[in-house]
Structures are given as structure tokens and as C-alpha cells.
Amino acid sequence: MSSQLRPFNFLVLLLAGALALSLGLNGFLLYKTPAPTSDCEDLQETEADLRLTQRLLARCQAAHQQQDSLLALRPTISTAVPTATTTAH
């Protein structure tokens, strides 16, 4: 009977060792990871950069829209290039 318990005891011991190792490693990693700090200055700088980027994008879009509207108002000059089919007729 003791011969049947020996492989079972080995597996239980192996499982307990793996669990202890896992808990130890997770605890170590959690201890070493720095706590997230909310840096208000960095957040304010990021928001300022975002607002500046949005303003520049809006100006760029307005300039392109104005340029597109000016191009639409300009009369189109058709410079047709004669081809072999048009000259044959």
C-alpha cells in the first residue's frame, strides 16, 4: 500500500512546490513594480499638446477647404489633346 502512495505523495509535493514558487514569484514582481503615480504636470502638458494639435488641425482643414472652394470657383480650361480617333473623323 505504501508503494501506491509514494507516486501520489510525490505529485502532491511537486504541486505544492510549484504553487509556493508561483506565489513567491508573483509577490516579488508585485513588490518590485512601482506604484502608478498620477503626475498632474504631465497630464496638463499632454492636454495642452492635444489642444494645440487640435487647433493646428482645424486651421489646416480650414485652409484646405478654402483652397478647394477657390479651385471649384476657377473655370476649368479644357486642353483636349487630339487623338488618332478624333483626327480620323
> Position 9: which residue type?
N
> Is 60 exceeded by the pLDDT of residue 89?
no
List, for residues 59-77, the tens digit of each pLDDT value: 999 999 988 887 777 766 6
Question: pTM of the prediction?
Answer: 0.39
Question: What pLDDT band is residue 25 in, cutting at 50, 70 and 90?
Answer: very high
> Is 70 exceeded by the pLDDT of residue 4?
no
